[in-house]
């Protein structure tokens, strides 16, 4: 073999080796690509392990590529494709993981990280703490009944502590009974403080339930300090001064604010606030008389019974030694002194003169308070009637000025008397609730008129939302006996629902009664829906038999309400046509 043939064989062998290596490398790359694709479909395999395996394969491939120095440049292209495929697969895997991971809201994250309060975290803590704590609604029935319980306990102390101090026989005769009541009252006082830590308060119209805020709200008030003073156990000094020293319990009187709170609560929720104010005023006056009687008996004891004509007579005198006589005599003296400023016998000593002067001052203030309270209550009770009578007088003066015939004037006066006798309210009742917000007016109107409206057959199956819309648009009108609500042939602009009373459907002669409409009946829907071929004209004569109250719904208001309820409008039209056919 010559040199040229040898070189050709070497070149051929080298070329063959290159082709073999290229084929082997292509097989290796195909295997790597297949492995990556399989790894991409395998969701349970760990991402880091797959990436490491792919990188190791790629590294081995690079080693083999370097060893094959005579390989073509196409293998580098395959390596680049492999790396690109691995990178894209890694990105897809990360995206898939991020989709399964809950996304953090950047706005909430900012709120949580901004400021020292950490709003979100504290909100969760507040919700958790409030959920595990009992909060008493200050406007609820539980708070109301507890106020009654604590007020009875406070009233017990206000009546009997001073009485037991003044009348020693009252204390010594039934001491075991008093001790039972005393410590039961103390227990109620302690429970009341615990309850007040649980009473919520309103902030911007919302009930605060956070225990820390409730505690802070109670403790920063003056009533908390008074409550603490009222439960100081001064009774422990009984061991030093004796068990009959009831004056040690005078600090129990500091809980008076709970009685005042009960009074305010009752006046707020009661249907008869004026009567309750009157009862409260009488109770206050009697309590003042009671305390003044006890002071008079104490002063008589200090000066000396029977030492002069002003003090209480000597206990050894016949008829003045019993406990009942002692209290009633002192109460009589107290009430007479505070109301008239006179006593059977004038004071004799300086102490007696000073006491009488103080009593006269207190009596003057009590009398002024009584007169003022009574005057205010009477004015308030008569305010509505005075306003009503002023309107009635204005109408009657108008009738007289225009020389209206006597029969019509009599009917007007009779109508006013009926309105006051049955309604006890002003004439402008539609505007009474005008200052209330719309949601409250809606709820009130629903409770007042919804049951009546449900009895109307045409509204029996309509949506609740439409009923509420209609209820808000109803206006009340009262008709006198013989008044025509509508006459046949007149333009119909309103439909009516009978709220109370009876109506008569009469023929054109206005004498023959065709039908009677009672409470819950309705009419006028044919005219306002233009169902008749006569347009929106009335199809019957309707007259009030006695005094009747009707709920009136105008055509414009009804059509406005039906705009959002097309199905209900179709139903109303169907029932109206059915009624029209029956009337023919």
**How far is Cα 284 from Cα 281, in angstroms, rounded to an integer?**
5
Task: Return the CATH class of domain 430-583.
Answer: mainly beta
Band of pLDDT at residue 439, cut at 50, 70 and 90: confident
Distance set, CA 135 to CA 215, 267, 445, 467 (Å): 11, 24, 32, 37
Flag whether pLDDT at 55 surpasses 50.
no
What pLDDT score was predicted for residue 106?
A: 45
More confident residue, 366 or 435: 366
Confidence of residue 258 (pLDDT cuts 50, 70, 90): very high
pTM score? 0.58
- Nearest of 136, 233, 146, 145 to residue 191 by alpha carbon: 146
CB atoms within 10 A of CB 404: 13
Separation of alpha carbons 98 and 324, rounded Å: 89
For residues 304 and 311, the answer to whether their CB atoms sit within 8 Å is yes
pLDDT score at 113? 43
Is residue 90 predicted with pLDDT exceeding 70? no
Q: What is the dihedral of CA 430, 432, 437, 443, to 10 degrees?
A: -70
Burial code (b: 16+ CB inside 10 Å, e: under 16) for 74-101 equals ebeebbeebeebbeebbeebeeeeeeee
Q: Angle formed by the axes of helices 273-303 and 257-269, to 10°? A: 160
- Cα–Cα distance measured from residue 292 to residue 29, given in angstroms and rounded to the nearest whole number: 113
Question: Are the C-beta atoms of residues 559 and 445 closer than 8 Å to each other?
Answer: no
pLDDT digits (tens, 9 = 90+) for 295-337: 999 999 999 998 888 999 988 888 888 899 999 999 999 999 9
Within 10 A of 450 (CB to CB), how many other CB atoms are there? Answer: 15
Angle at 190 between CA 188 and CA 193, to 5 degrees: 110
Radius of gyration of the chain (CA): 47
pLDDT at position 60, please? 53
Once rounded to an integer, what is the mean pLDDT over residues 222-251? 91
**What's the rounded mean pLDDT across residues 231-246?**
89
Mean pLDDT value across residues 535-556:
83
Q: 495-526, pLDDT tens digit by residue? A: 888 888 889 999 888 788 888 888 878 777 76
**3-state secondary structure at position 433:** coil
386-419 pLDDT, tens digit per residue, is 777 787 888 888 888 878 888 888 878 887 777 7
Cβ of 298: how many Cβ atoms within 10 Å?
16
Q: What is the mean pLDDT of the chain?
A: 76
What φ, ψ does residue 535 adopt, rounded to 5°?
85, -140
pLDDT for residue 35: 57
Task: Locate the domains of the chain by residue range.
Answer: 132-269, 271-426, 430-583
> Token digits for 322?
């019993």
Q: What's the DSSP call for residue 503?
A: E
Select from 2.60.40, 3.40.50, 1.10.287, 1.20.120 the CATH code of 271-426: 1.10.287
Mean pLDDT, residues 372-398: 78
Mean pLDDT of 524-529: 71
């Amino acid at each position: 073999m010559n040199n040229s043939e040898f070189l050709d064989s070497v070149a051929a062998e080298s070329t063959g080796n290159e082709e073999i290596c290229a084929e082997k490398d292509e097989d290796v790359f195909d295997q790597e690509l297949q492995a990556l694709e399989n790894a991409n479909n395998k969701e349970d395999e760990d991402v880091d392990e797959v990436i490491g395996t792919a990188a190791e394969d790629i590294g081995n491939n690079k080693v083999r590529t370097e060893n094959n120095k005579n390989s073509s440049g196409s293998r580098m292209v395959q390596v680049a494709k492999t790396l690109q495929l691995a990178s894209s697969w890694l990105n897809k895997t990360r995206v898939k993981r991020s989709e399964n991971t809950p996304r953090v809201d950047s706005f909430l994250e900012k709120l949580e990280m901004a400021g020292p309060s950490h709003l979100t975290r504290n909100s969760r803590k507040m919700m958790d703490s409030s959920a595990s704590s009992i909060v008493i609604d200050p406007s609820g029935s539980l708070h109301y009944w507890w106020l009654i319980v604590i007020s009875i306990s406070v009233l017990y102390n206000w009546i009997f502590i001073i009485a037991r101090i003044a009348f020693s026989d009252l204390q010594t005769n039934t001491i075991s009974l008093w001790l039972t009541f005393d410590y039961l009252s103390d227990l109620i006082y302690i429970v009341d403080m615990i309850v007040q830590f649980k009473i919520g308060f309103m902030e911007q119209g919302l009930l605060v339930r956070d225990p820390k805020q409730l505690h802070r709200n109670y403790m920063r008030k003056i009533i908390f300090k008074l409550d603490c003073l009222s439960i100081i156990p001064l009774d422990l000094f009984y061991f030093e001064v004796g068990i009959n020293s009831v004056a040690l319990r005078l600090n129990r009187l500091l809980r008076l604010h709970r009685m005042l709170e009960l009074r305010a609560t009752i006046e707020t929720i009661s249907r008869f606030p004026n009567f309750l104010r009157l009862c409260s005023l009488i109770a206050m006056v009697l309590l003042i008389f009671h305390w003044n009687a006890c002071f008079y008996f104490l002063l008589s004891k200090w000066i000396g019974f029977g030492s002069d004509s002003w003090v209480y007579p000597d206990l050894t005198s016949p008829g003045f030694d019993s406990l009942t006589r002692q209290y009633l005599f002192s109460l009589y003296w107290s009430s007479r002194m505070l109301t008239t400023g006179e006593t059977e016998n004038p004071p004799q000593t300086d102490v007696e003169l000073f006491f009488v002067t103080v009593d006269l001052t207190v009596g003057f203030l009590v009398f002024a308070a009584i007169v003022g309270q009574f005057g205010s209550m009477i004015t308030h009770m008569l305010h509505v009637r005075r306003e009503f009578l002023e309107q009635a007088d204005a109408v009657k003066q108008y009738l007289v000025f225009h020389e209206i015939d006597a029969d019509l004037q009599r009917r007007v006066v009779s109508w006013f008397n009926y309105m006051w006798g049955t309604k006890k309210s002003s004439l402008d009742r539609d505007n009474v609730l005008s200052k209330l917000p719309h949601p409250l007016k809606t709820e009130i109107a629903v409770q007042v008129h919804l049951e009546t409206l449900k009895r109307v057959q045409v509204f029996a199956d309509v949506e609740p939302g439409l009923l509420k819309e209609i209820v808000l648009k109803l206006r009340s009108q009262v008709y006198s006996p013989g008044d025509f609500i509508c006459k046949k042939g007149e333009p119909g602009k309103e439909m009516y629902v009978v709220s109370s009373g009876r109506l008569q459907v009469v023929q054109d002669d206005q004498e023959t009664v065709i039908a009677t409409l009672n409470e819950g009946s309705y009419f006028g829907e044919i005219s306002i829906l233009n169902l008749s071929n006569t347009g929106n004209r009335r199809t019957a004569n309707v007259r009030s038999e006695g005094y009747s109250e009707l709920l009136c719904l105008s055509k414009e208001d009804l059509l406005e309400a039906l705009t959002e309820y097309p199905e209900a409008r179709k139903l109303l039209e169907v029932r109206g046509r059915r009624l029209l056919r029956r009337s023919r």
